Structure 1
Amino acid sequence: MLLLKGQKADITKGRNLANLSLQFGWSTASDAFSIDAACFVLSERNRCEREGDFIFYGNPSAGSGALTHAQLNGPDKEGIRIALSKLPASTAKVAFTVTIYEGEKHGYGMKDVSNMYVRLMNDDNGEELFRYEYGSDLSRETAIVVGELYRHNGEWKFNAIGSGFYGGLAALCTNFGLEIEDEGTQEAAAAVEETVVSTIDLRKRIVGITLEKKNMTQVAARVGLVLDISGSMLNLYKNGTVQEVVERILAVACKFDDDAVLDVWVYDNEYSRLPSATEKDFENYVLNHIMNNRHIHKFGRNNEPPVMEDVIRKYTVEEDSALPVFIIFINDGGVVKQIKKVITESAVQPIFWQFVGIGNSDFEVLKRLDSMEGRIVDNANFFHVKDIAAVSDETLYSQLLNEFPLWLKEAKNKRIIRP
């Protein structure tokens, strides 16, 4: 099974698994630099409490014998073997990393590495459980936290992270609480301040680049996300795709909204207005506020007008403001024709509707948005991506922000947006 960034997978649940191995592979265009895999055994404080719990080529085995690092010959370059039963009870998680040796010194970054992956294997029988491909969204970074093995309800799970760091191995050590005793200490500490501690930071940078390209760096707007939660969306909620969508759109809100707040709705034949997502609480947002929320109606049929009317009510009645509103509307099937009436009537409001169709439906109604008549401005756009999880952040943000600036200009000319 191929994991996606941000996805969490059960490792031991439902399996008789005693020994796990992670096998790392990569390709480089030059043999002038080397890459190393390592891991940090972490406590509940998210710290590596002992130097011996940092496993790498210079310390290939933990004192408990639970972890072993090895060089491999073949497509898999390095491996880390874990005897799960030998992990101390104090172990909350194990963080797995990849670094470029002296990358800053020689001017190398993750842009010089390709085809990075890790395979999670049943070490007893050689079965590949999961594969995670990562790093294609990184550039100057010289280290990556690939993922984490962590305890959850008495079982072990894996979190596919793929976050980049500057400062190489020294920065990682500092980040996980180990003291660096060489001359690079100050540089490493400074690098940690520039650390990309989450994919949200990377995505904010990509949004920033997209805004620069579209001459939108001075734009301020409120951002809302409306998520289809009809029955056909069930697998996308379960496999982490919707959680990933929340994070990707939150990065847009962080650039447009001074408060860095993303307003969220879900709908099927009913709708719910959810707590806003922020950088402080977006992790596990879908699980905490949607899947585990018994007050939300889930996985019924779709009916868009009621939730659209609530969006309008929030931004034009309850929280009237001079700021324009950018609504991203995720849908995986045909919408009801009555949305035309809502879109037409809301054309006089400072709201732009950006519909994103995902999956294999034909989206007949949404495809006709641009030709809808009776509007003072074209206040809606639609594009279709079959698999949103497979679309790069650069491509997604470029498409999301393609027509919004055109609407902003026209809405200002028509005095829909107040000065």
Structure 2
Amino acid sequence: MAINLQKGQRISLEKENGNKLQNVCVGINWGAIEKKGLFGFGSSKEAVDLDASCALFDDDKNLIDVVYFGHLKSKDGAIRHSGDDLTGDMGGDDGLDNEVITVDLAKLDPKVKHVAFVLNSFRGHDFGTIPFASIRIYEGTPKRVTEVFAKYDIAHDSTFKGHVSMVMGIFYQKNGEWKFNALGEPTKDRKLEETVNTVERNFL
């Protein structure tokens, strides 16, 4: 299986031993913004609220469900959100994901054919102003990373500068087999609803 895909790459989730991948996670780790004091004296931290969300669509691109900070579990119980982190790492990078969405592909409602992951900056903080912000999409659980499919460093990648939302990637089913498209595409959207509409219009 390919590891650490570049933007736009697609892979099959069928493993080399013939087993099908079942548990995948999307984890986001980010930091608060450091503000310098007047005339360079002292500093303070400004909380950053990034929101990872997941939109589920059927074969005809109809929206079935959205998992986000206000709805932490999909109707079929296959997708779970760890909960809303409102601040980011205030004391520097602790190396841990602030928000994680877990997916059990085997439990998904059979009608679900596309599982899209998006990220929004709730208070409108430009991705380029955040000291560190990374995304990893991987096989495993929040406590055990088996294999990373894709990684994005949105704080230091110039393509994300000036944006407050993005489409991270989409799991999709084709001929009964799950595949993954590593998108990593910033969007012009400001709110989650707009980003979900962008996915439906441009990426399915």
Please classify the TM superposition score into its range, dividing by the shorter chain length: 0.7 to 0.9
Partner of 2:43: none
Deviation at 1:149, TM superposition (A): 0.6
- Determine if the alignment matches structure 1 residue 93 to structure 2 residue 114: yes
**Which whole-Å CA distance do the structure 1 matches of 2:32 and 2:135 have between them?**
13
Q: What root-mean-square deviation, in Å, do the aligned CA atoms of Structure 1 and Structure 2 show?
A: 2.6
Deviation at 1:44, TM superposition (A): 1.8
- Determine if the alignment matches structure 1 residue 118 to structure 2 residue 136: yes
Letter paired with 1:172: T
**Which whole-Å CA distance do the structure 1 matches of 2:14 and 2:79 have between them?**
17
Give the alignment's TM-score, normalised by structure 2: 0.73
Letter paired with 1:167: R
**Which whole-Å CA distance do the structure 1 matches of 2:26 and 2:115 have between them?**
12
Aligned with 2:191 (options 153, 168, 188): 168
**Which whole-Å CA distance do the structure 2 matches of 1:161 and 1:69 have between them?**
21
**Which whole-Å CA distance do the structure 2 matches of 1:66 and 1:59 have between them?**
13
Partner of 2:62: 47
Q: Would the aligned equivalents of 2:21 and 2:139 in 1 still touch at CA under 8 Å?
A: no
**Which whole-Å CA distance do the structure 1 matches of 2:104 and 2:145 have between them?**
14
Give the alignment's TM-score, normalised by structure 1: 0.38
**Which whole-Å CA distance do the structure 2 matches of 1:28 and 1:6 have between them?**
29
Aligned with 1:132 (options 151, 169, 177): 151
Aligned with 1:18 (options 22, 26, 45): 22
Distance 1:125 1:32, change over 3 A: closer
Q: Would the aligned equivalents of 2:121 and 2:165 in 1 still touch at CA under 8 Å?
A: yes
Q: Would the aligned equivalents of 1:143 and 1:172 in 2 still touch at CA under 8 Å?
A: yes
Deviation at 1:116, TM superposition (A): 2.0
Larger relative helix fraction: 1
Q: For residues 197-219 of structure 1, what are the alpha-carbon distances to aligned partners after superposition, in whole Å with 9 as ceiling and x for unaligned?
A: 57xxxxxxxxxxxxxxxxxxxxx
**Which whole-Å CA distance do the structure 1 matches of 2:29 and 2:62 have between them?**
26
Deviation at 1:102, TM superposition (A): 2.9
Q: Would the aligned equivalents of 1:23 and 1:121 in 2 still touch at CA under 8 Å?
A: no
Q: Secondary structure of the residue that 2:24 maps to in structure 1?
A: strand
After superposing on structure 2, the runs of 4+ consecutive aligned residues of structure 1 that deviate more than 6 Å are none
Deviation at 1:90, TM superposition (A): 1.2
By relative contact order (CA 8 Å, sep 6+), the higher-ranking structure is: 2
- Determine if the alignment matches structure 1 residue 69 to structure 2 residue 85: no
- Determine if the alignment matches structure 1 residue 37 to structure 2 residue 47: no
Deviation at 1:111, TM superposition (A): 1.4
- Determine if the alignment matches structure 1 residue 9 to structure 2 residue 11: yes
Letter paired with 1:138: F
**Which whole-Å CA distance do the structure 2 matches of 1:157 and 1:130 have between them?**
11
Identical counterparts, % of pairs: 25
The count of residues paired between Structure 1 and Structure 2 equals: 173
Deviation at 1:4, TM superposition (A): 0.4
**Which whole-Å CA distance do the structure 1 matches of 2:72 and 2:194 have between them?**
20
Distance 1:167 1:88, change over 3 A: same
Consecutive unaligned residues in structure 2, runs of 5 or more:
35-45, 86-93
Q: Secondary structure of the residue that 1:2 maps to in structure 2?
A: coil
Deviation at 1:176, TM superposition (A): 5.4
